[in-house]
Structure 1
Amino acid sequence: MPLRKSHSKSRFGCLPCKKRHIKCGEESPSCNNCTNRRVQCVYKSPHTPDDGSSRSSTSMSRSETLSGELHTARTPITVTRAQELHLMAHYITSTCETVSHGKEDMHVWQQIVPDEAIHHEFLLDGILALSSLHYAWKYRDSRLVYSEIAMNYHASALKGFRDALNCITDEKRCALFAFSVILNVLALAFPNICPTSEQSSREESVVTLIELLQGLRFIIRGQEDFAIHLAKYQPLWAPFIYPAHLPTPKPADEVAAALARLRERTNSIQSSIDAEQHRSYLAGIESLEEIFGQMNKDPTYLGQIIGWPTTVSPTLLDLFKQEDPMAQLIFIHYGALLLYTRDRWWGRNTGVRLIESLSRSVSNKHPDWVDLMQWANAAAVSVQQD
């Protein structure tokens, strides 16, 4: 076997060359290898392109995993202004379409949200994180580089989001609302794109996402506040608000039967749990029933699925964190809701994996509860066979 030609190693080569285990010429702003292969050339700090047009993304010294908790320290990735322009162009021409469901909300994501981001850096970082992750999914040769960039923007956006939640003003409401949707999409997308995000369990990721979104309860209180403060985002929320005199859409028969079994089990253990715990179970089931009903009426609008975590009560969340089996059963059926997102790049496998993971946990504790998980698991198997 001929020996592979050796080369002197350098710590300053670009990420695509490192991934391919080839020598990088370290040319700026793009090395010859990347130029020839027509892939984005990105260097890790301390290498800085000679044209002086680069900036290290704010607060990117430590990357944040999907779970929202700071993981191991990463070397900041230097992102040039040209790359940021490229990411914004990719968002406006491609990514925004993947979170839209029609012409009206396409206008919101393509024009209104970017305009809002000019005044709120956490929203801008969220847009760039989403665009980076979509680019990583779309172009496999650039997946390593752009998934890293996405995680760094995600970390920066989360810091700004938390700061903004500490001081909510009318001026920030629209930006916080838009970012909350992006945050949900990112949470669903990361495990499908970034293998490193699997280091935290899917359940922990769901918990952290819901905890982050608890602050949104203080942004909007009732339909009147939606109309007043989020009027320009009306295409995003209007399809899910039903006049009081109209009946709420009902879920399909098999879904209604599955949720009825959950209610029966909840009521059967009522004597062994406190009243607040019982109420939290029933409220969680009711909110799922409403959204399943809306999806049965119009399965093209996924916003209500993305927004379900904001409806979860602190009590139900605490029970889920404690691996309470009844709470896990409710979240298994949230996983079934997520199956509606399977044809989107950001939700492809999330629902299936959540159902499988939680079903194993519940089965270990209560093998006799298999009938309560049967419908959700059958739905997960069915979509994988399509």
Structure 2
Amino acid sequence: MLRRSHKKSKGGCTQCKRRHVKCDEARPICRLCANSDRDCSFANESNASQYSTIQKASGEHSGSSRLHTYPETASSASTTPLTVTSVTSSPDHTSPGRPATTCHDDPSVEEAVNLNHMELIIHATLHKEELFNLGDPIDDYHAFLELSLGLHTSLKYPYLLHQLLAFSARHLAYLHPERSNHYIHQAMSLQTRAISLFKAEWTDVNHSNCVAILLFSTVIGHHLLAETLSKRDPGGLDAFLTHFIQCIETQRGMYIIAKEAWPLLMESELKPVLSSSLNFTSREPIGTHCFDIKQLLRSANGLSEEERQACDLAINYLQIGLDAVLAEPSGLSPKQAYRYQMIFNWTMLAAPEFTVLLATKRPEALVVLAYYAVLLHHGRSMWQVGDAGPYILGLVSESLGSEWQSWLEYPRSMIVGSSAATTIT
């Protein structure tokens, strides 16, 4: 059979040369390869320049509504920075000093690139309410902003994309304990990369990046809290406090950054969420559940006025949280689960002086922590919390001497007295 003659293209792509067809030499993918959904590569381009071209092309289309994939190296499906590219483009699996590899050369590459991250994106989209069920009382609107706005914003700020995927992986680890090691590894790798990208890009807060920074700080805060409350490391209270204080300090740092951007954020799409959150944390405590610990604080010796105020602030926030969880009937749907918001906010709002008291295992601060365990126990149905309440109370009870056990009567009655509680010795 005679082949139709054509003028040869010296700079054509490898695929067109193999097929003996004329290539239009369009970068990063020629028209024929785009139409036939083939992997397009040019032998006369270096790996670095090809990667740069794909990045530039993806940036030009970041605002479009086209489907996107998130490529990574075949050797590590979790740690490599995600590069947003058009679905018609072939993922770039090259790195400087390494021969180019296509999906045809290594069949496992396509699965590692497309399925791992797409699984996380799809999971986050389908389970957005459950992912952010410690959020603000705006029903679907909060989840919509948290995820939809987050994914759109992450096209410009990759650190946000990495963190969203990391949090999705952490939720999958909870849902599928048989594969938890796989998902936890993904979550850790993606979060590590997210923090690295954030630090590298950080300059100051402005109109262009304030939404990305707030969303990033919120998602990473939820992730760190879920990770911390799931810890069951050997070492008792000391080991837990190490993780817990690190979580508090990280959340506080992100909270301070977000506060700097508050005027800018109130001009953004996030204004309804922020206003609602401010209204909640600004409430006056109503109940008397923390009355005993208030008495303890007044009679405590050796506390400075700043330390006493820090403890008092922590107790007030706990009472606001207890007011919320006890004011609503049981059996709430995920849309109504905002009543547990103080579980997340309490660690974010903790004063530095209180954190120091926790780090030194000051008994008064540990009793306050036991009351936080009560709040956690009320939210035990949340995937981020589980049995963290009885676990923390047990650690505190074992650490404090007999003279402090009477101050734990309320936390113990609320947790041990519950039929769903774990026995605490």
TM-score (norm 1): 0.68
Identity, in percent, stands at 16
Compared with structure 1, are the counterparts of its residues 330 and 94 closer, same or farther at alpha carbon in structure 2 (3 Å cutoff)?
Answer: same
Q: What is the aligned partner in structure 2 of residue 64 from structure 1? A: none
Classify 1:88/1:313 alpha carbon distance in 2 versus 1 (closer, same or farther; 3 Å). same
Alignment of 1:1-386 (within 5 A): 54=74, 56=76, 57-58=78-79, 79-100=112-133, 102-162=139-199, 167-190=204-227, 201-221=239-259, 225=263, 228-229=266-267, 231-234=268-271, 236-242=273-279, 248=284, 250-251=286-287, 256-257=288-289, 259-270=290-301, 272-298=302-328, 300-301=337-338, 302-361=340-399, 363-364=400-401, 367-383=402-418, 385=420
SS at match of 2:384: helix
Whole-Å separation in 2 of the counterparts to 1:156 and 1:285: 36
Question: Is the Cα contact below 8 Å between 1:248 and 1:293 reproduced in 2?
Answer: no
Between stretches 296-305 and 339-348, larger displacement belongs to 296-305
Structure whose CA Rg is larger: 2
Q: Quote the offset at 1:195 in angstroms.
A: 6.6
Cα pair 1:173 1:219 within 8 Å, conserved: no
Classify the secondary structure of the residue corresponding to 1:347.
coil
Shift of 1:172: 3.1
**Contact 1:250–1:292, Cα closer than 8 Å, also in 2:** no
Q: Give how far 1:209 is off.
A: 0.8
**Aligned pair in 2 of structure 1 residues 131, 217: CA closer, same or farther (>3 Å)?**
closer
Root-mean-square deviation (Å): 3.5
> 1:382: Cα distance to partner?
4.2
Q: Is the 8 A contact 1:332 1:355 kept in 2?
A: yes
For 2:145 and 2:396, how far apart are their aligned partners in 1? 35
Q: Secondary structure at the match of 1:201?
A: helix
Give the C-alpha shift of residue 178 in structure 1.
2.2
Provide the rounded CA distance (Å) in 1 between the counterparts of 2:370 and 2:201: 32
Deviations, residues 291-341 of structure 1 (Å, cap 9, x unaligned): 322334457213332121221111111111111111111122122222233
Check whether the contact 1:87–1:131 (CA below 8 A) recurs between aligned residues: yes
Instruction: Flag the structure with higher helix content.
Output: 1
User: 1:249–1:297: 8 Å Cα contact kept in structure 2?
Assistant: no
CA pair 107-122 structure 1, distance change in 2 beyond 3 A: same
Specify every segment of 5 or more residues in structure 1 that has no aligned partner in the other structure, as ranges. Answer: 1-50, 61-77
Asked if structure 2 preserves the Cα contact closer than 8 Å seen for 1:339 and 1:351, the reply is: yes
TM-score, scaled to structure 2: 0.63
Deviations 1:272-309 (A, max 9, x none): 33222222222221222223223344572133321212
Q: 1:355 to 1:172 in 2, by over 3 A?
A: farther
Task: Give the Å deviation of 1:91.
Answer: 1.0
- Aligned residue pairs total 308
Alignment correspondent of 2:62: none
Counterparts in 2 of 1:300 and 1:323: CA distance versus 1, 3 Å = same
Instruction: Provide the rounded CA distance (Å) in 1 between the counterparts of 2:119 and 2:188.
Output: 17
Q: Kindly state the Cα deviation for residue 88 of structure 1 after the two structures are TM-superposed.
A: 0.8
Structure 1 CA distance for aligned equivalents of residues 280 and 325 of structure 2: 17
Aligned amino acid, residue 308 of structure 1: W
SS class of match (2:361): coil
